[in-house]
Structure 1
Amino acid sequence: MKLIIQTPHFDAQQKLLAFAEDHVRKLQLINERIVEAHICLKLDKSDKRENKICEIKLVVPGNDLFASKQSNSFEDAIQQSVSALKRQLEHWKTNHEQRAEKTQ
């Protein structure tokens, strides 16, 4: 899986980038057909404490999946986004298997 990480308007520490990469790569255990993952870590310029945003787009043949979460830390936003994508991948896999059974 090709991984693209963007951090517009700030320089992320290597530790944060490794954290994001490690968590997103685990999604391949659910679906090995993931071609690319685009991760965007952004700072919301609002006055709220929860101003860290993680957006992840997974490119899967036949269907792209997307999750965006906002939290008070990037690590938490990454974990929430990955969790949402895990649910989407499991749902997609279940539906895909059911369709395959119907065509047999």
Structure 2
Amino acid sequence: MKVNVHAVNFTVDSKLVGYVQGRLDKLEKYYDRVVCSDVFFKVGNTTDKENKIAEIKISVPGDEFVVKKQCKSFEEAVELAADSMERMLVKRKHKVRARS
């Protein structure tokens, strides 16, 4: 799956890009018709420690899913967002199968 990583106002470490690619590749187990995915990283303007925001947008034929999580680290945010995305993709898969 093609994963596009975008960082707002900073540069992304190659380790983080590799982690994101590996984690999102696992999503293809749950729904194999994923067209592409975009991951946006932002740092919130708060003094709170949980200011790292990861937003994952996945395109599938006929639909688009977006999950946004805010955590202490980008890795944790990606993990939580990917878990939510897994559930959404499984729901989508069951819904498509029920129609056919």
CA shift digits 1:38-67 (9 cap, x unpaired): 000111111111000000000100111110
Secondary structure, counterpart of 1:47 in structure 2: coil
Q: For residues 73 and 3 of structure 1, what CA distance do their matches in structure 2 show?
A: 20
Match of 2:62 in 1: 62
Unaligned runs of 5+ in 1: none
Rg comparison, structure with higher value: 1
Query: Structure 1 stretches (4+) deviating beyond 6 angstroms?
Result: none
Q: CA offset at residue 32 of structure 1?
A: 1.4
Q: For residues 42 and 17 of structure 1, what CA distance do their matches in structure 2 show?
A: 14
Unaligned runs of 5+ in 2: none
TM-score (norm 1): 0.92
Matched pairs, number? 100
Q: For residues 19 and 83 of structure 1, what CA distance do their matches in structure 2 show?
A: 14
Secondary structure, counterpart of 2:90 in structure 1: helix
Match of 1:19 in 2: 19
Q: CA offset at residue 33 of structure 1?
A: 0.7
TM-score (norm 2): 0.96
